[in-house]
Amino acid sequence: LLIVLANVVLYRVLRALSGSTVPYPVKSAVVLVILLIGTLFYGFSRLTGQDALDTKPLRVALIQGNIDQDVKWSPSFQDKTIAIYDRLTREAAKEGVDLVVWPESAVPFFLQDERFQAEKIKALAREFSTTLIVGSPAHELRNGKTTFLNSAFAISPAGETTGRSDKIHLVPFGEYVPLGKYFPFISKMVVGIGDFSAGERATSLLVGQTQVGTLICAEAVFPEVARDYVRAGARILINITNDAWFGRSSAPYQHLAIVAFRAVETRTPMIRAANTGVTTIIDQNGHIRNMTGLFVEGFRTGEVRPGTGDSFYLQIGDAAALLCVVLTVGIAGLSWVRRKRIT
């Protein structure tokens, strides 16, 4: 609304300066200045306010394995992949952490099938007495048919799988083919597309007594996903991703900037683990701390205090945007009616 109002005021000022009969928009300019000052005042007051729970912060470790896309899904590279994440986790967790996060599809096999590598991962959680959240594909039966999901698993300090969060918003032509179910020929036209199904519900994972909401890759683009998690009780948000697809471009940083908005909107800290992309911690004010680079192995550690789950956006959701749509349609309709009357 502010952007639209500012552009309208600027347009009318330019029209007035050009010698047009359009008067200077004095009243509109005053309203704009008042709104801008009010917005700045509100912003500064929130930045200096307390938006975190008065509880002990969680010590987190975020792992960036930087597994090359060409070998990421190769069966012959699975042991090497787990060895890389094992080594980085040991380095990050040696001083004690409450939570270790591996990125999207860090485990290149079905963790739920309890293979030997799966036991090694669970043993790592037991050894360091920490909760481990890892990205892994999953499968389940739906209506007698096996479906595949892009998921995150939580492993407790006891080495037990305590929860699974499935990706709900899939990437079209990346993880599934739109309308492929109804028009099979479309799938045949597009080679190399994943055959994933969407998760049926947003499921929070537990880290001790704290609920965390896991947004997998592009899910962080959708404000309503983060909002649903926080309204359901999540006090920390996690984004696991693999931005290697973007190469050395501005896209990984654009993705990161979008993710930061989810933290601000919900007043909830966001921790982010990427295969490569940007692994970092974002506080509830949107401050991005201690980023990794692109296409490097590494990890980031830090303390995260759970958010309060209290923000204006959490209360109203997208009502303001819907109101703008209604007003736009209404004004356009009134304008059309007036023209019809004149003619």
Q: What is the pLDDT of residues 40-61, one digit of tens each?
A: 988 888 777 666 667 789 999 9
By three-state DSSP, how is residue 322 classified? helix
The token pair that represents 229 in the structure block: 């998690």
The token pair that represents 234 in the structure block: 């999540």
The answer to whether 167 is a known catalytic residue is yes
pLDDT value for 155: 98
Range of the domain at 164: 58-310
| Domain count along the chain | 2
85 and 192 co-located in one domain:
yes
28 and 161 co-located in one domain:
no
Over range 140-164, report the average pLDDT.
Answer: 95
10 and 113 co-located in one domain:
no
What pairs with residue 135 in β-bridges? Answer: 152
The answer to whether 324 is a known catalytic residue is no
Q: Which residues contact 267 (CB under 8 A, 6 or more apart)?
A: 46, 51, 284, 307, 308, 309, 310, 311, 314
Catalytic residue among 122, 217, 219, 265: 217
Query: What does pTM read for this prediction?
Result: 0.88
* Residue 343 forms part of a structural domain: no
pLDDT value for 9: 93
* Residue 116 forms part of a structural domain: yes
105 and 166 co-located in one domain:
yes
Catalytic residue among 104, 175, 219, 265: 104
Catalytic residue among 167, 175, 219, 265: 167
Res. 339: pLDDT tops 90? no
pLDDT value for 186: 67
Q: What is the pLDDT of residues 229-256, one digit of tens each?
A: 999 999 999 999 999 989 999 999 999 9
220 and 280 co-located in one domain:
yes
pLDDT value for 320: 85
pLDDT value for 340: 82
Judge contact between 305 and 282, C-beta under 8 A: no
The answer to whether 104 is a known catalytic residue is yes
pLDDT value for 51: 67
144 and 21 co-located in one domain:
no
Tell me the one-letter amino acid at 90: R
Judge contact between 199 and 165, C-beta under 8 A: yes
**In 3D, which of 121, 146, 140, 119 has the Cα closest to residue 132?**
121
Q: What is the CATH number of the domain that holds 217?
A: 3.60.110.10
Model confidence at 204, pLDDT cuts 50, 70, 90, reads very high
108 and 166 co-located in one domain:
yes
43 and 175 co-located in one domain:
no
Q: Which residues contact 182 (CB under 8 A, 6 or more apart)?
A: none
303 and 243 co-located in one domain:
yes
Name which residue leads in pLDDT, 57 or 189.
57
* Residue 322 forms part of a structural domain: no
